[in-house]
Amino acid sequence: MAESTLLASTCVEKLELTPLAFLGCVLAGIGMYIRISCYRTLGRLFTFEFAILPNHKLITSGPYALVRHPSYTGAMFSLAGITLVYGTQGSMMYHCPIGYKLWAPFWSALVIVSCIMMGERCLREDRVLHATFGRDWEEWSQRVRWRMIPWVF
């Protein structure tokens, strides 16, 4: 009983919605919006595993007119937002010593691995799309130069 009282007094009393947590909510929401826009734009071509389907066509409209892999951009926004919501002052994880010691390393590793995997997947998907669509992909990649982040990557 004393342990739960200690946990409540050290963690719950310090919870607050900080500007960083609010920004995190906004970023996570933007990320979700981007991903939903991608799913809608792809329609029947959307799959969780990258695949070239029968009668596949190169999608170059909607969010795909801004970056070539916008779904990953949305995922990065969401990861950044969740990190701010749960990992900054005012959050349960930040103020709960046990939670922070367990959560921070796990979450950091998850974010790093996710970003590496998304970057590698972008390169692999570009190679397959280029091989499949040839000149159409080349023209699109000239118009839409950025893979995930405009003017950066």
Q: pLDDT (tens digit, 9 = 90+) per residue, 6-27?
A: 445 567 788 889 999 999 999 9
pTM: 0.86
Please give the pLDDT value at position 150.
85
CB contact at 8 A, 118 and 50: no
Those residues whose C-beta lies under 8 Å from the C-beta of residue 80, and which sit 6 or more positions away, are: 24, 27, 31
Please give the average per-residue pLDDT across 93-118, as a whole number.
Answer: 89
Residues belonging to the chain: 153
In angstroms, how far apart are the furthest CA atoms of the chain?
69
CB contact at 8 A, 128 and 69: no
Please give the pLDDT value at position 93.
84
pLDDT of 71 higher than 70 = yes
Choice among 22-26, 48-52, 136-140 with the minimum mean pLDDT: 48-52
Percentage of the chain modeled with pLDDT above 90: 72
Please give the pLDDT value at position 92.
81
Distance in angstroms (rounded) separating the CA atoms of residues 69 and 63: 9
